[in-house]
Amino acid sequence: MATQRLAAPTAFAPIMFGAPAPPGDLLSWNWAERRLREAEHYWIATTRPGGRPHCRPVWGVWLDDGFWFSTGSLAARNLESSDQITVHLEGGREVVIVEGTARPESDPDSLQTMCDAYGPKYDHPISPYEDGTVRDSSGTGGPAYLVIPHVVFGWDENMSSPTRWTF
């Protein structure tokens, strides 16, 4: 089943430090989406079955339908018991935090789209396999996931223009 383009989110001022953020300019979704597309490294946070957090850096791509990544690590096992995930860009100056659900994807066309974006971005080609995984030329790889955002937070340098987008 091919995935669909995300609907445009609605922007609000978030709760910051326990209170509504002061009224002001909100960031545009284009601002956040550009950072998500251009980022090289992302941090994902999942939860172990016992409740302990698990956070790791991954490579991935932001496409029209959400955030794509592949992993064979503990995160994959965690996502089997809870599909809840947070994705964060590596920097802390222009922050974008995605909260959503990660679903394993095995549709060949969708995986090919992910691989077509991932390979050139990292100069590390990957390909879909018949078992629904993606792998590089050495055979290393794992399942691919699509993160569907529910809420995204962002703020510019010095925590200016804090914005909460909901889908």
Q: d(Cα 146, Cα 37) in Å, to the nearest integer? A: 14
Q: d(Cα 9, Cα 40) in Å, to the nearest integer? A: 23
pLDDT digits (tens, 9 = 90+) for 85-97: 999 999 888 999 9
pLDDT digits (tens, 9 = 90+) for 92-151: 889 999 999 999 999 999 999 999 999 999 999 999 999 999 999 999 999 999 999 999
Q: Give me the domains of the chain, ranges plus CATH numbers.
A: 10-104+150-166 (2.30.110.10)
Q: d(Cα 148, Cα 162) in Å, to the nearest integer? A: 21
Q: How, if at all, do strands 19-20 and 42-47 pair?
A: unpaired
Q: d(Cα 147, Cα 157) in Å, to the nearest integer? A: 26
Supply the pTM of this predicted model. 0.93
The whole-number average pLDDT for the span 62-75 is: 95
Contacts of 81 by beta carbon, 8 Å cutoff, 6+ apart: 49
The whole-number average pLDDT for the span 52-65 is: 97
